[in-house]
Amino acid sequence: MDSSKINIVVVSGTRERLQMAAMVASVGAVSGSDVTVFLSMNSLAFFVEGSDETPPAEGSFGRLMEGKKIPGFRTLIEQAVQLGDAKVFPCSMAMDVLEIASDMLPSYFGAPLGLTKFLHDAKGSQVFTF
């Protein structure tokens, strides 16, 4: 297994899971790992440009994060790209279902990707799911 390559699948739309996925991406990227983030289903809508919608807390920790001085998941994902050269891809199926066009997503996102391509590229490396 290639431990220097981290692949992250994010399907959840809860604050805690989005935050942890972003933390893994950010820390992995700045530590020199090759990081790929695949955003699908409930997670993707929280990355639409201009949206300031806050994901719901899954539990008490998510509620405790409110008002704390910690970088949010959007900031961490962007930092992973800028500081560690992580790659972020939106799921093409989720974009179709949610009617999200590519120009509605951050400029640092790659072209929409299908799950088959993501899994092919992730073969033999670590995959984390949130």
What would the DSSP string read from start to end of 8-59?
A: EEE---SHHHHHHHHHHHHHHHHTT-EEEEEE-HHHHGGGSTT--PPPPPSS
Q: Region 74-93: what's the mean pLDDT? A: 97
Per-residue confidence (pLDDT) for residue 2, from 0 to 100: 65
Q: What is the pLDDT of residues 95-118, one digit of tens each?
A: 999 999 999 999 999 999 999 999
Per-residue confidence (pLDDT) for residue 52, from 0 to 100: 86
CB 42 within 8 A of CB 93: no
pLDDT over 80 at 3, yes or no: no
pLDDT over 90 at 129, yes or no: yes
Per-residue confidence (pLDDT) for residue 1, from 0 to 100: 67
For Cα atoms 93, 107, 16, give the angle at the middle one, nearest 5 degrees: 65
Name the residue type at position 55.
P
